[in-house]
Structure 1
Amino acid sequence: MTATSVAGGRRRVVWPVLLGVALVAGVTAGAIGALMLDDALEVTGLRDPGPTTAYGLPFLRGAGEIAAIVTIGHFLFAAFLVPPQTSGVLDVDGYRAVRVGAVACVVWAMCAALLVALTVSDVSGVPLTDLTPLDVWSAAGLVETTAAWRTTSILAAVVAVASLTVLRWSWTPGLLIGGLVTLVPVAVTGHSSTGGSHDIATNSLLIHLVAGSLWAGGLLALVVHALRRGSYTDLAARRFSRLALGCFVAMAASGFINAAVRIDLTNLWTSTYGLLILAKVAALVSLGVLGWRQRRSAIVALQHDSTARRPLLRLALGEAALFGIAVGVAVGLGRTPPPPTRSEPSPAEVALGFDLSESPTIAAVFTDWRFDLIFGTAAVVMASIYLAAVYRLARRGDPWSKRRTICWLIGCITMLFATSSGLGMYMAAMYSMHAIVQLLLTIAVPALLVQGAPVTLALKALKAAEPNSAPGPREWVQSVVAAPMTRLLTQPWTALAILMVGVYGLCIAGVYDVAMSDHAAHMATIGFFLFSGTLFFVAVSGAGPTPGPMSTQRRVAMTLFALSQFVVAGIVVVRMQAVLGGDFYRSLRLSWQTNLLSDQRVGGVIVSVSSAVAMLTVIAIVAAKRTGCLRTDNLRAPTIDA
């Protein structure tokens, strides 16, 4: 048998392996869905939609989620697990991974589109065969879940089409982000998006899905690569092993938190929902054990002989089958009614995820804490990574500015306080608190983080790859810094325009209403505050790859102009006669919330006065520098050769 025939045989095994994992997930989900059908119909009061929907919906969802995992994993593989050519064009292994990801993304889009029809049938109790395309189209926007599947199908189709044009490595991280985004619409619906503590449940589920998709998808991509006898298998396995460990920790922590807010510990052994959670725990523990064995045997074997793929494949195929079962159980869990809660949640708990029965006080702002799993975790992780990089420089004897370290840490602490303290809680129910958080996250936090010069620190702390070897994290940072998109976004006028979208966009009643009433939109709004503010301060500080040097006078002028727009926006809000988000605020039925318009005007005054104070502060700093009263340690902006 020739080497060509062996390679061809291994390539022919690739798709059966991926289809087999999808089949395992679909069958597991379909079996659990069928077993739980009577209980689900009894709890919801819906009619039986017929066997096609009862069996087909969970099966197709399980198989479709494997397609999404394959998409994400192969884009991850092309972006970070194997190197491109020295020219930046994808090598053959990266190119193959992108093509497999594209095909899987098409399948994911088709499954999501079919799930629109099946979900309409499920929630209406009408058999699928009795529905016309017009019925499905007209009903798709009326139910949250069907709308989510429709959005998922569109997003997946866009990512699939975009992936067909990608030939250079620099675009693959964008494909990975796009693949992860397709998970969001459905993640913010279902059990986790309703009832008390749904903010924690939804955020923990998002972390769980992202970590699980990166872990399972990266594993399947590694299996495919090993079956094809691709290059750099040892490097890909080592990099994936580090990623898998982090994903395991994130999945375990987020899964525990999600389960804790959905079910009492006493119901774990006495309810079907609890037993399915225990089945997921058993699968996760088993996957952790297999991953540990991978690190101890398969990775070691590849380090000694880069062609020794048999131990890797033996363990990885077992992990892949377990992942298929775990995905099926997760889908079945979503079809299983959770045990009833002991008490009826208040209107505020239903809308926000937590109660706000007590009126806001200064003490409550500082003492009432509800950790934000997305932005609170991000603040802690950012501070930890920064300190680790500073420690690495210190061990090498390289100096690093204490002032910049302090700025970064204060920025992280402020971000944590703004999103996880009583301020972060009351911002969801009061315009004045929302205004304070917007100022902190758009101005204070980005300005402090940019002064920390994280890119320069990363380029100093990370080691450069050896000549003619695979690029590593330092080269990835350099590539992002030098990317045309980064240069466009950090162009001063572009950054200013994006900042103004956030400043004036929330003065529009419809935009503000959506940002407050929908949890996903609320989290996206917080993310936009941080993103737009960081872009602007990177552009005006000269700490990023701006298209050209800016004079001090121009930087100061742009900063003062931007801050002046906050003053104007605050005045606009003060003069408004209509209450922004009024219907949503009134739906919370908070006894202490008596005058919404007065609170809104207080918020407008806070925005205007705080922005004016910030302008005066900028002027004072500039004057102090000119008179020599203030000395700073200027770090050059990072370049691709830094």
Structure 2
Amino acid sequence: MSSPVFEPITRFVQRAAVPIVVFLGAIIGVGALFFTGAVNPTLLNDPGSIVRFGLPTAKFVFNIGMSLTVGALMFAVLILPRTAGGRRRHKQAAEDAPLDPLWTKALRIAEVSSVVWTLSAVAVLVFSFVDTVGAQAYLDFSNQLGVFVTQIAYGQLWVLIVVLIAVASTLCFGTRSHIGIAVAGVLSVGVMIPLALMGHSAEASGHTQAVNSLGLHILGATIWLGGLFVIALLGAGLAKADGVRAVIERYSTIALIAFCLVVFSGIVNALLRVHNLDDLMTPYGEVILAKAIATILLGLIGFWHRKFVIARLGTVASATVEFWRLITVEFVIFGATMGLAVALARSQPPVSQEPVGNPTPAEILTGDPLPPQPNLERYFTQWAIDPLWIAIAAGASIAYIIAFINLRRRGDKWPVLRLISWLIGMVFLVYVTSAGPRVYGEVQFSAHMIEHMLLVMVVPLPMVLGAPITMLMRATKARRDGSAGVREWVLWLVNTPYLRFFAHPIVASVNFAGSLIVFYYSGIMFYALDTHIGHEMMIAHFLGAGYLFAQALIGIDPGVKRPAYPLRLVMLLVTMAFHAFFGISIMSSNVLIAADWFGNVGADWGYTAIEDQQLGGGIAWGIGEFPTLFVAIMVSLQWAKSSDREAKRIDRKEDRTDDAELRAYNAMLASMAEREAKMPPHRP
């Protein structure tokens, strides 16, 4: 790997990686800004040329800093070995072992880039303030800036971004533990949530699709480009490392996932802003086409890497030269793509993203028109896709299928019913989060109850029966080089005291049933309806609560200390009785829950709001009958199988010992009888 032909190429790419992206991004970005008219002065209250050019420049530097920081932390958490010399047997020994030089270098990259990222975030915050207020911002600047960051949602989000980046940067400097760096990585990825929320008006149509697709797009592009940056900056050190092929293969897998996220989310986001061919002929549409072509070229280069180059790394010198040439081409295309992305963010799309004029009550609340009157057919034909959960379900399904195929190829057995069960769970998840329950759940209490009950009682059951943790343990190899992959992090999470606490059968049962009371009677439900984050957190919480409860009853994955089978049935009956009591309490209530929402939807069909709520209580009571019966049957079947296995185990033991236990028992009885016969007769 350290051939004379290779080292000059490595040094060139290492030194020129960031300059190439910055230079090309700046040239292409400025040209696209002029092409779309995004830097033209406004007729009223223009903020000035410094802001019109300074804001996209600051955002460009912000994106570079974000990519470098997230990419470096990704390599430190998921790809590179933390300690030199491979895995240690004991945890304390691993913590005290010398750090791997490449891992340390990746952390240094994260340190420097996180500082640049923080400063650029502050610059974007200030420029955004002036751009929002206009020329009047220069009058009483400090007081107006204070109002912007404390009372305006856009300013508050940017303050949150700055704080998250600063905390992540502090962790990069202050810790070298694997978990601490992982927390820094989580915080860095968390920055993308407020970034996505700022990209679309909450009252405009397609808010969920726009926000989630933008978040996925930012995530995919950031880890893709950030990984390339880190490979280039590690340079010759990576080239001379023994495990260079394994490192590149790990990044290549992540890059493939990132490419799929970028393509999927890009299509969803573009369809919200470009509705027809005429829209594509506008300057905005032409920039989208140019960005799409660049993305396809990057995907083709990645395919060439995986198919023809990576397998030859370390063995063929020409493969190494070809690899770094392709990396250079990727930087050139990525630089142009980032410039186009910044220009798009500052340009006005042909389809307005603002709320419609004279909106209906439903449009004011949800951002979407009131759906037609519900019936059974429309619960399957009315869709409002949620890209986040579609991406999660599709990714989990593909990963499970690949793991299943790999197990079968190496001769291991895995029940097909588990594969089918997992896929059914993913289909249910997409249906609940994107089809009729999602559409009508925004405007009807009863439909929201259907969505809720399916999430907590139906979707988790086939997921648990799919045994995903056991599949992960069997289908993926344990890392032996001191790094931690998905397998290691999932097993660490499963065995943490926190997850074990929430997975405890009693805690899982209380969470499963008690969450209903807290959610519906504390006012939290309104925030789940009114805010995007609240809605997604509701889905995640109830899906997790249902999964942990089902895992305690019928699961086989590790991490749960399950009670005896009779106690499981008792636990199921008690929980379902409480569940029925909850449904009856809603049925008999005359106080409207989330009245500010369901009382103002303005639907001209169906029941009144209070009648619909009482119907929802009946649904909560009745919809649990079938899942409860299913779980009870599964517990009984597992109980019977466990008894059969125990009986067979005892039979095998008796065969091995020639009925030693039985003969010893008979001998004990004979001895007792003999002693009793020798005892004198009893006298009153």
For the criterion TM > 0.5, the same-fold answer is yes
Please, which moves more after superposition, 414-423 or 549-558? 549-558
- Counterpart position of 1:55: 53
Which of 145, 148, 157 is the matching residue for 2:154?
Answer: 145
Query: Contact 2:446/2:619 (CA < 8 Å) preserved in 1?
Result: yes
- Counterpart position of 2:63: 65
Q: CA deviation at 1:258?
A: 1.6
Which of 196, 200, 216 is the matching residue for 2:205?
Answer: 196
- Counterpart position of 2:289: 278
Q: Residues 546-599 of structure 1, C-alpha deviation per residue, up to 9 Å, x if partnerless?
A: 475633345444444544453444345445544333333455443226621221
- Counterpart position of 2:229: 220
> Are 2:437 and 1:426 equivalent residues in the alignment?
no
Please, which moves more after superposition, 299-308 or 395-404? 299-308
- Counterpart position of 2:396: 382
Q: Distance in 2 between matches of 1:396 and 1:228?
A: 35
Q: CA deviation at 1:360?
A: 0.8
Q: Distance in 1 between matches of 2:247 and 2:327?
A: 13
SS in 1 for 2:67: helix
Cα 1:394–1:72 shift into 2, 3 Å: same
SS in 2 for 1:507: helix
Cα 1:441–1:547 shift into 2, 3 Å: closer
Letter of the structure 2 residue corresponding to residue 238 of structure 1: E
Q: CA deviation at 1:31?
A: 6.0
Q: Distance in 1 between matches of 2:231 and 2:60?
A: 21
Q: Distance in 1 between matches of 2:111 and 2:583?
A: 46
SS in 1 for 2:68: helix
Query: Contact 2:55/2:127 (CA < 8 Å) preserved in 1?
Result: yes
**What's the C-alpha RMSD, in Å, of the aligned pairs?**
3.9
Q: Residues 191-238 of structure 1, C-alpha deviation per residue, up to 9 Å, x if partnerless?
A: 475633333233322222221112111111111122544633332222
Q: Which protein has greater RCO, CA pairs closer than 8 Å, 6+ apart?
A: 2
- Counterpart position of 1:255: 266
Give the 5 Å matches for 1:191-590. Answer: 191=200, 195-229=204-238, 231=241, 232-268=243-279, 270-295=281-306, 299=310, 302-304=313-315, 310-340=321-351, 347=360, 348=362, 352=366, 354-464=368-478, 474-475=487-488, 477-483=490-496, 485-492=498-505, 495-496=508-509, 499=512, 502-508=515-521, 510-541=523-554, 543-546=556-559, 548=561, 550-574=563-587, 576-585=589-598, 588-590=601-603
Q: Distance in 2 between matches of 1:632 and 1:199?
A: 50
Letter of the structure 2 residue corresponding to residue 167 of structure 1: R
Q: Residues 435-492 of structure 1, C-alpha deviation per residue, up to 9 Å, x if partnerless?
A: 1111111222223211221111222233455x66966655555444445554454344
Percent identity reads 26
Please, which moves more after superposition, 77-86 or 614-623? 614-623
Give the 5 Å matches for 1:35-114. Answer: 47-85=45-83, 86-87=87-88, 88-89=94-95, 91-114=100-123
Structure 2 residues without counterparts, runs of 5 or longer = 89-93, 647-684
- Counterpart position of 1:160: 169
Query: Contact 2:13/2:328 (CA < 8 Å) preserved in 1?
Result: no
- Counterpart position of 1:640: none
Letter of the structure 2 residue corresponding to residue 69 of structure 1: S
Q: Distance in 2 between matches of 1:391 and 1:300?
A: 21
- Counterpart position of 1:602: 615
Q: CA deviation at 1:430?
A: 1.3
Q: Distance in 2 between matches of 1:359 and 1:312?
A: 58
Q: Distance in 2 between matches of 1:420 and 1:633?
A: 43
SS in 1 for 2:377: helix
- Counterpart position of 2:142: 133
Q: Distance in 2 between matches of 1:391 and 1:16?
A: 42
Letter of the structure 1 residue corresponding to residue 198 of structure 2: T
Letter of the structure 2 residue corresponding to residue 597 of structure 1: I
Q: Distance in 2 between matches of 1:409 and 1:13?
A: 43
Q: Residues 38-65 of structure 1, C-alpha deviation per residue, up to 9 Å, x if partnerless?
A: 78876xx862112232221111111112
Q: CA deviation at 1:359?
A: 0.7
Cα 1:558–1:48 shift into 2, 3 Å: farther
Letter of the structure 2 residue corresponding to residue 233 of structure 1: V
Q: CA deviation at 1:623?
A: 5.9
Cα 1:632–1:77 shift into 2, 3 Å: farther
Query: Contact 2:35/2:283 (CA < 8 Å) preserved in 1?
Result: no
Q: Distance in 2 between matches of 1:556 and 1:41?
A: 70
Cα 1:327–1:492 shift into 2, 3 Å: farther
Letter of the structure 2 residue corresponding to residue 121 of structure 1: V
Which of 182, 191, 194 is the matching residue for 1:182?
Answer: 191
Q: Residues 282-322 of structure 1, C-alpha deviation per residue, up to 9 Å, x if partnerless?
A: 32133234434544675355231589855444432342343
Query: Contact 2:47/2:131 (CA < 8 Å) preserved in 1?
Result: yes
Query: Contact 1:22/1:67 (CA < 8 Å) preserved in 2?
Result: no
Q: CA deviation at 1:73?
A: 1.0
Query: Contact 1:53/1:128 (CA < 8 Å) preserved in 2?
Result: no
SS in 2 for 1:83: coil
Cα 1:229–1:245 shift into 2, 3 Å: closer
Letter of the structure 2 residue corresponding to residue 581 of structure 1: A
Q: CA deviation at 1:356?
A: 3.5
- Counterpart position of 1:639: none
Letter of the structure 2 residue corresponding to residue 449 of structure 1: M
Query: Contact 2:221/2:262 (CA < 8 Å) preserved in 1?
Result: yes
Please, which moves more after superposition, 171-180 or 271-280? 171-180
SS in 1 for 2:399: helix
SS in 2 for 1:374: helix
Q: Residues 391-414 of structure 1, C-alpha deviation per residue, up to 9 Å, x if partnerless?
A: 333334433234433432332232
Q: Distance in 1 between matches of 2:415 and 2:431?
A: 25
Please, which moves more after superposition, 315-324 or 328-337? 315-324
Query: Contact 1:34/1:54 (CA < 8 Å) preserved in 2?
Result: no
SS in 2 for 1:398: coil
Structure 1 residues without counterparts, runs of 5 or longer = 635-642
Q: Distance in 1 between matches of 2:393 and 2:304?
A: 33
Cα 1:545–1:107 shift into 2, 3 Å: farther
Letter of the structure 2 residue corresponding to residue 531 of structure 1: G
Query: Contact 1:509/1:580 (CA < 8 Å) preserved in 2?
Result: no
Query: Contact 2:38/2:347 (CA < 8 Å) preserved in 1?
Result: no
Please, which moves more after superposition, 240-249 or 74-83? 240-249
Q: CA deviation at 1:83?
A: 2.6
SS in 1 for 2:369: coil
Cα 1:632–1:450 shift into 2, 3 Å: farther
Letter of the structure 2 residue corresponding to residue 359 of structure 1: Q
Q: CA deviation at 1:277?
A: 1.0
